[in-house]
Amino acid sequence: KAPALLKDVNVMITAGPTREAIDPVRYISNHSSGKMGFALAAAAEQLGAKVTVVSGPVNLTTPAGVNKVAVNTAQQMLDATLNQVASCDIFIACAAVADYRVADVAEQKIKKTDNSDEMQLRLVKNPDIVATIAGLANKPFTVGFAAETQDVAHYAQDKMARKNLDMIAANDVSKPEQGFNSEQNALSVFWPTGHQQLDLADKSELAQQLMALIAKQYAAQ
């Protein structure tokens, strides 16, 4: 039996999309399925970790033994992660957080107007959850993701430095067979002193490989 690499280590993972309300019946969101985040949660639990997944709306069964905190908006996701960060050893930001939210959410359903073919929504920037966590004085070992369409290594390493991450997992979303909402993915993983390529595989297999790599770097820090 393999040793439990993450025995009693507290792992928190954000997963899925966020939903930003426009009015009581409409929202802005994205196509994130949450599959990779939930696969990472299962993989971490298998390695002996105590796992919390902070998830936006997804259609996934929570893996056995994993604690799920359900949220909708980016602000709720940030609040939930800040709530638990004091007891977090490893933080993995896998969620596809909406970059912007609607500035003034309408209290009533917005009516279609007859006198104009246009309407405008003013958007404001959402907080960057992973950068906020990685900016804390007592920060956990922090892992981010990067979805890029070109110069993957360059942009990923730049993002790792800018957000103060300990590790970043980048995928090339210009390739149709991997990434968003697909069953498979491939990742280029970077940390300040190294790099490893994880080839195209099912997300559960890839999550196990990535989690093992995270556990190794966490232990080596």
CA gyration radius for the chain?
Answer: 18
Q: What's the distance, CA 56 to chain centroid?
A: 10
DSSP 207: H
For 20, the 3-state DSSP assignment is: strand
Applying CB under 6 A, does 93 fall inside the site for ligand C5P? yes
Q: Is 145 in the site for ligand C5P (CB under 6 A)?
A: yes
From 10, 30, 83, 181, the catalytic residue:
30
Q: Which residue stretch of 48-56, 100-108, 143-151, 209-217 sits at the interface with ligand C5P (rule: CB under 6 A)?
A: 143-151
Q: Is residue 126 involved in binding ligand C5P (CB under 6 A)?
A: yes
Task: Report the alpha-carbon distance of residue 10 to residue 31 in Å, rounded.
Answer: 28
Q: Which residues are annotated as a binding site for CTP?
A: 99, 109, 127-130, 145, 159, 163
129 binds ligand C5P (CB under 6 A): yes
Q: Is 90 in the site for ligand C5P (CB under 6 A)?
A: no
DSSP string over 100-135: EEESS--SSPPPP-SS-S-----EEEPP-HHHHHHT
Q: Tell me the residue nearest to ligand C5P as measured from the CB.
A: 129
Q: Do 210 and 188 contact (CB within 8 A), yes or no? A: no
Ramachandran bin of 8, using left for φ above 0, alpha for ψ from -120 to 50, beta for the remaining angles: left
Nearer of residues 36 and 215 to ligand C5P, judged by Cβ = 36
Binding mask 49-88 for ligand C5P (x = CB under 6 A): -------------------------x--------------
Q: How far is the CB of 195 from ligand C5P (least distance, A)?
A: 17
Q: Which lies closer to ligand C5P via its Cβ, residue 48 or residue 76?
A: 76
Q: Does 5 bind ligand C5P (CB under 6 A)?
A: no
Residue 144 as a binder of ligand C5P (CB under 6 A): the answer is yes
Residues 6+ apart with CB under 8 A from 195: 153, 188, 189
Cite the DSSP H helix spans in 27-109.
35-46, 74-84
Task: Give me 53's structure tokens.
Answer: 């997944």
Clarify whether 30 is annotated catalytic: yes
Q: Which is nearer to ligand C5P, 119 or 124 (CB)?
A: 124
Residues that are catalytic: 30
Where do contacts with ligand C5P occur on this chain (CB under 6 A)? 14, 74, 93-95, 97, 126, 128-130, 144-146, 159
